[in-house]
Structure 1
Amino acid sequence: MRINALSVANYFIELAQRDEVSITQLGLMKRVYIAHGFSLALLNFSLLDSRFDDVEAWKYGPVIPSVYHSFKCYRNGPITDKTIIVEWDEHSHTENYVFPDLNDNRARMIVEMVWDRYKGYTDSEMVTLTHKEGTPWALCYEEGMNNKIPDSYTKLYYTKFVNNIVESSKK
């Protein structure tokens, strides 16, 4: 299975369960987006599948609709289970229900890095992170429009973010 937003989301849920940390839909959404940004900046590849994973600028920050719709049943409560998807098996002509798993080691390292850095953040702190002036969300958001946030904006922002960390560590 290709890397996609749901496989990234499921891995964050695994990490939250491992660490016994509650994660909500809003917090999950922001962490998936931030991991996507770091992956673009550090590894030059997307954690999203361009066939069905877009990032949109919604009122409360960047949203990946596939993740939103998979976990919206939890509302503001803690997510307790990973999501499943239906895949069509061409050979047996049957539907298979599978958990999207994140099997790429580089992608897992990015998700783990983001988890370690942001697992203690509240949902409102995660929203604040993605709403700062100059963020891709801030550049794309128009009330009620759900504009797409281009990967080029996300990559540029997180590349600058990483470079600032590197520069400040040299001082």
Structure 2
Amino acid sequence: MPAPTTAAAVANAFLNLQDADRGTFPRIDPMKLQKLLFYAQAWWLAYKEPALFDEEIYAWPWGPVVPSIYSEFRNFGSQPIVGKRATELIKTGDRIYDFRVVAPTAPPGDVLDFLSMVWGSHKHLTGIQLSNATHAPGEPWAIVKDRYGTLNNKPPIPNDLIRDVFKEKIGVGNTNTTAA
């Protein structure tokens, strides 16, 4: 069964949720966006299957990263993302250059409701605070770092590991996450 949405669509949903929110909170910068993507995938995996989006999440030195979204927003550095949304490259034909850049389809309503809950739970944190949380002992990023010893190769964080750690947080199952 395919994932219900894409990482680009989730990124745009968070940026749209931020724009609609009249509260006071740290704005979404590239680091915060990456961590929101991670937590959305993690909580989705804890409650549902298949994954929220198919793109892999990698263990980079500053925490979990979806490379395509990193590439899309890296020029913002540590500044808030303003006036830009993620895009997707879609194959349009059989030739090597048959691609075009498009805006992703918005996630379905139930996914948007879920993302709104994730936003509500995490919006008050900065990207650095969210990154620090992903580095805590027993978190998927920390388990991958402990396993590899270095993140120079930016290894993927397996969805099974993410799912098991977050299922344990909600008290579902008794999993062994150290064998990842």
Shorter-chain TM band: 0.7 to 0.9
Q: CA deviation at 1:46?
A: 0.8
1:78 aligns with 2:83: no
Separation of aligned partners in 2, 1:127 and 1:87:
31
| 1:5-154 paired onto structure 2 within 5 Å | 5-19=7-21, 22-49=27-54, 53-80=55-82, 81-90=84-93, 96-141=100-145, 142-154=150-162
The residue identity in structure 1 corresponding to 2:116 is E
Does structure 2 conserve the Cα–Cα contact (< 8 Å) formed by 1:39 and 1:107? no
Q: CA deviation at 1:16?
A: 1.0
Counterpart secondary structure, 1:7: helix
Runs of at least 5 residues in structure 2 that lack an aligned partner in the other structure: 173-180
TM-score by length of 1: 0.84
Separation of aligned partners in 1, 2:33 and 2:46:
20
Separation of aligned partners in 1, 2:157 and 2:87:
26
Q: CA deviation at 1:112?
A: 0.9
Describe the superposition over 1:103-138 as per-residue Cα deviations: whole angstroms up to 9, x where unpaired: 322322221111000101012210121111001100
Runs of at least 5 residues in structure 1 that lack an aligned partner in the other structure: 165-171
Separation of aligned partners in 2, 1:11 and 1:110:
11
Describe the superposition over 1:9-65 as per-residue Cα deviations: whole angstroms up to 9, x where unpaired: 11001111111552100000000110001111111221222xxx1111111111111
Q: CA deviation at 1:94?
A: 7.0
What value does the CA root-mean-square deviation take over the aligned residues? 2.3
Does structure 2 conserve the Cα–Cα contact (< 8 Å) formed by 1:38 and 1:110? no
Separation of aligned partners in 1, 2:140 and 2:36:
15
Does structure 2 conserve the Cα–Cα contact (< 8 Å) formed by 1:7 and 1:102? yes
Q: How many residues align?
A: 160
- Structure number having the greater helix percentage: 1
Separation of aligned partners in 2, 1:147 and 1:95:
28
Q: CA deviation at 1:143?
A: 3.2
Flag as ranges the 4+ runs of structure 1 deviating above 3 A.
Answer: 93-97
Which residue pairs with 2:177 in the alignment?
A: none
Q: CA deviation at 1:102?
A: 2.9
Which residue pairs with 1:168 in the alignment?
A: none
TM-score by length of 2: 0.80
Q: CA deviation at 1:71?
A: 0.9
Separation of aligned partners in 2, 1:106 and 1:42:
13
| Change in 2 beyond 3 A, CA 1:127/1:146 | same
